[in-house]
Chain A
């Protein structure tokens, strides 16, 4: 049955049918071959959608769209540029840092990539960056959207592995900063070696003044993460409700303060967000059917036994998991991969003595890299659209970033404190 399930899944996926179709139809094949009723497909999909916690996905998508439309993203770029725009590789660093800031309000990697890339790829090109390198920078730093809280993949992981979403959010802060820092360094080093992005001399007074005026411009945008995180930890609302508060805040700022969203645009933004979230949620729903079949066939237990046979060393276990995740991340969309793998791997990790929150970070950071690995990488699709590039043109500049990201995963895997130290506070 498992062979029928996986072979038909791969077959349907390689024909080019949507992933949700591959998930559902391979489940049908597996159910059929074991003589179980097909109704399980829609029942299970419905049940997984009928979840309050999952509501954070459409809400964060909507909030992100409102912020893009409402001028919040543009203001964050202005602020980052005022800080580091003047050094060599500065504009690339701006892209990374702005992605990090945008990630504190946006839960999605692809939305972060789109928001930052659309503004900064053209700007980087004007400053002499090779187009492919600019696009690769935006794609790689876009993955911060999933690692810096709030994060849709973390919400999904929390549900799938039954761990606290709030703890995952906190665990993401230091790894997110580590990845930000390493990407900034990468961009600056490459800019120096290749000799693009000249230095603009600036005196201290102008620098401070620039920061101050950009800060005033973007104060409302900066307030948003304060309100969201403050609201959660101040006891005003739960993380799921916070996504709704983010929507309302984005709406109020975009419509009444920046006045960049007109009332007549509202239905358009809502409709677009509904379709965007539907694309994600349908994969979530039908991945649940796939996961159900793995569960009733006790695949998690078998994988656990297998891994236990291969090694009893948690360090080697983490290495094996990372290799597995990297390859799966190349082909499978991150949320679908989390939903299928988390319930299987998380209990095994715990039995190896690995902290479940730390293990969640390993999975999320690794699968976030999957968003920038060909052939299936959402962030890559986004920047290819923005920069009008073909996927293969991106590969060479991307390799540098991939190498850096893989080193980050290794650090995050083998230094659990990075993920867990803040949880003590």
Chain B
């Protein structure tokens, strides 16, 4: 059996590490029966296309960041809430537990089966200026993910959330068309924004989870034994991906410092305060939003 697995990042990304591990484990454990080819770099399409394809049965397995998933499964909008988690470790621990399963359980309604969680990615603001506190956002033009929680959070901080194609971002930063954008340290390095930014501000507004998802029609075609084997391979692959993220995170932070980009440890107190109203706005947009939010908050304690 041959399957394709698509994701949107580079070969050295945590997405690829987890996906390739999943493919290798499954091949080994199925004695070569299940062959997965991993296609990086959006070769099979962007996340939106991958989600849609899996729902319609044209894609088998894919990796997606949570923000794209909100267009299909609104429950995932919870993770757009600014300062929902305090750290990568906390986010991963909660998502690996029953609260994470609660979210995965909604996916079959949308024709998808959630196999597991990659590491949540700490998204920080890289920019032409240092951000010590919320006031420093004033007057900044930022390119952020086009998802309501991101746009509203940065607008609440006093910045302007500017829409822009990711492919235009490098030149826009270089020419100062915009002042900054948000991303995880590893992607900041791999997408070469390190060349065109002065400051990497550790603002931690969002910890974006990512998921390994299989098309429900493909999942249903497996026998219970095969499903168990697939799930087992996914669990081990996701553990590998979570550890890998920690590695590339640390390595990227070293590279950022070595490249002469100033790393700013932002005091997030004023940011938390300024973005607090965004949470309720988002919860109101989600069916059973309060229930899902409360579950996450309960797990934090």
Direct chain A–B contact by Cβ atoms under 8 Å = yes
Flag whether B289 is at the interface (Cβ < 8 A).
no
Cβ of A235 and Cβ of B177 under 8 Å apart? yes
Complexed CA–CA distance, A233 and B171 (Å): 9
Q: Which of A1-40 contact B (CB under 8 A)?
A: 36-37, 39-40
21 contacts between A and B (CB under 8 A): A36-B58, A39-B57, A43-B45, A43-B53, A44-B49, A47-B46, A47-B48, A50-B48, A52-B164, A53-B167, A162-B41, A162-B167, A233-B175, A235-B175, A235-B177, A237-B177, A238-B164, A239-B168, A239-B171, A295-B44, A298-B37
- A37-B57, A43-B52, A44-B45 known; A158 vs B175 contact (CB < 8 Å): no
Which B residues touch A292, using CB under 8 A? 44-45
- A39-B56, A162-B41 known; A47 vs B49 contact (CB < 8 Å): yes
Which B residues touch A166, using CB under 8 A? 171
Picked from B39, B44, B165, the residue with its CB within 8 Å of the CB of A52 is: B165
Q: Mark B29-65, 1 if CB is under 8 A from A, else 0.
A: 0000000010101011110110011001110000000
Least CB separation from A51: chain B residue? B165
Cβ of B167 and Cβ of A159 under 8 Å apart? yes
Cβ of A240 and Cβ of B165 under 8 Å apart? yes
Min C-beta distance of A228 to chain B, whole Å: 13
Q: Mark B148-174, 1 if CB is under 8 A from A, else 0.
A: 000000000000000011011011100
Flag whether A234 is at the interface (Cβ < 8 A).
yes
Cβ of B39 and Cβ of A232 under 8 Å apart? no
Flag whether B176 is at the interface (Cβ < 8 A).
yes
Picked from B43, B49, B57, B177, the residue with its CB within 8 Å of the CB of A238 is: B177
Complexed CA–CA distance, A262 and B111 (Å): 53
Flag whether A403 is at the interface (Cβ < 8 A).
no
Cβ of B44 and Cβ of A238 under 8 Å apart? no
Least CB separation from A234: chain B residue? B175
Complexed CA–CA distance, A39 and B48 (Å): 15
Complexed CA–CA distance, A51 and B164 (Å): 11
Which B residues touch A193, using CB under 8 A? none
Cβ of B48 and Cβ of A164 under 8 Å apart? no
Cβ of B49 and Cβ of A232 under 8 Å apart? no
Query: Of B58, B167, B175, B177, which is in contact with the most chain A CB atoms at under 10 Å from its CB?
Result: B167
Q: Which of A76-127 contact B (CB under 8 A)?
A: none
Cβ of A296 and Cβ of B56 under 8 Å apart? no
Complexed CA–CA distance, A40 and B215 (Å): 14
Q: Residues of A at under 8 Å CB distance from B?
A: 36-37, 39-40, 43-44, 47, 50-53, 158-159, 162, 164-166, 232-240, 292, 295-296, 298
Flag whether B4 is at the interface (Cβ < 8 A).
yes
Cβ of A37 and Cβ of B41 under 8 Å apart? no
Min C-beta distance of B276 to chain A, whole Å: 32
Which A residues touch B39, using CB under 8 A? 295-296
Given A47-B48, A295-B43, 8 other A-B residues pairs in contact with their CB atoms under 8 A: A50-B48, A52-B164, A159-B167, A166-B171, A233-B175, A236-B177, A292-B45, A296-B39
Which A residues touch B44, using CB under 8 A? 292, 295-296
Complexed CA–CA distance, A43 and B164 (Å): 23
Q: Residues of B at under 8 Å CB distance from A?
A: 4, 37, 39, 41, 43-46, 48-49, 52-53, 56-58, 164-165, 167-168, 170-172, 175-177
Least CB separation from A46: chain B residue? B49
Min C-beta distance of B65 to chain A, whole Å: 17
Complexed CA–CA distance, A398 and B43 (Å): 40
Least CB separation from B41: chain A residue? A162
Least CB separation from A31: chain B residue? B58
Min C-beta distance of B74 to chain A, whole Å: 21
Query: Of B44, B52, B171, B176, which is in contact with the most chain A CB atoms at under 10 Å from its CB?
Result: B171
Complexed CA–CA distance, A392 and B56 (Å): 50
Min C-beta distance of B195 to chain A, whole Å: 12
Complexed CA–CA distance, A239 and B168 (Å): 8
Min C-beta distance of A356 to chain B, whole Å: 13
Which A residues touch B41, using CB under 8 A? 162
Cβ of A47 and Cβ of B45 under 8 Å apart? yes
Complexed CA–CA distance, A292 and B4 (Å): 12
Query: Of B43, B44, B58, B170, which is in contact with the most chain A CB atoms at under 10 Å from its CB?
Result: B58
Min C-beta distance of A136 to chain B, whole Å: 37
Cβ of B43 and Cβ of A240 under 8 Å apart? no
Min C-beta distance of A178 to chain B, whole Å: 25
Cβ of A164 and Cβ of B52 under 8 Å apart? no
Cβ of A43 and Cβ of B171 under 8 Å apart? no
Complexed CA–CA distance, A76 and B116 (Å): 62
Min C-beta distance of A226 to chain B, whole Å: 16
Complexed CA–CA distance, A52 and B143 (Å): 14
Min C-beta distance of B231 to chain A, whole Å: 24
Least CB separation from A52: chain B residue? B165
Which B residues touch A239, using CB under 8 A? 168, 171
- A158-B167, A164-B170, A166-B171 known; A43 vs B49 contact (CB < 8 Å): yes
Least CB separation from A240: chain B residue? B168
Least CB separation from B56: chain A residue? A39
Complexed CA–CA distance, A47 and B48 (Å): 8
Which A residues touch B53, using CB under 8 A? 39-40, 43
Cβ of B171 and Cβ of A238 under 8 Å apart? yes
Least CB separation from A288: chain B residue? B45
Min C-beta distance of A299 to chain B, whole Å: 12
Min C-beta distance of A13 to chain B, whole Å: 25
Min C-beta distance of A324 to chain B, whole Å: 22
Complexed CA–CA distance, A239 and B39 (Å): 29
Complexed CA–CA distance, A203 and B203 (Å): 70
Query: Of A43, A239, A298, which is in contact with the most chain B CB atoms at under 10 Å from its CB?
Result: A43
Which B residues touch A53, using CB under 8 A? 165, 167-168
Which B residues touch A36, using CB under 8 A? 58
